[in-house]
Amino acid sequence: MTPTTAPAPTAFRLRIVLLSALMILANVSGNFSLSLGVKAAGSGSHFPLLNYLGQPALVLGVALLISALLVRLALLSAAEMSLILPLNAGFGYILTTVAGVVGLKETVHSVNNVGLALVVFGVILIGLSAQSRRTPGAGR
């Protein structure tokens, strides 16, 4: 039997789950850090870029977002685009909303809650569609 580059289905799924979690965390924390950095930099200078560069939170945010992009490339090399992008975006919206409500004490209106419920339902549906396919090379 010739060696194959396709890993076993279980390892394949575990890797995708781990990379997805890493990407979502990097993305959400990157955006959060970016937001903190921009607010801390203020707008008092004629050279806002210099202000931004001096903000560790902002630099950290950019570094986290670049990391998220690199992890996303690794994910796209392993799984279908139509699975990875909406799933990660959906989880990202859910986590960002939770972070806003819990961390920043933001108010969420009922229409936003309905939107969040739709996103959660969409994520579940996409997850179920992925669950029904167990072929290791899905994405080729």
Residue from 48, 54, 125, 134 touching another protein (CB under 8 A): that is: 125
Residue from 38, 93, 95, 99 touching another protein (CB under 8 A): that is: 93
Please tell me whether residue 112 binds another protein under the rule CB under 8 A. yes
CB of 23 closer than 8 Å to CB of 68? yes
Q: How far is the CB of 116 from another protein (least distance, A)?
A: 6
Q: Hey, which residues between 55 and 74 contact another protein (CB under 8 A)?
A: 70, 72-74
Q: How far is the CB of 30 from another protein (least distance, A)?
A: 14
Burial of 18 by CB count in 10 Å (0-12 exposed, 13-18 middle, 19+ buried)? exposed
CA 116 from chain centre, in angstroms, equals: 16
Please tell me whether residue 85 binds another protein under the rule CB under 8 A. yes
Residues 6 or more apart whose CB falls under 8 angstroms from that of 51 comprise 41, 42, 44, 45
Stretch touching another protein by CB under 8 A, among 25-33, 34-42, 51-59, 107-115? 107-115
CA 38 from chain centre, in angstroms, equals: 20
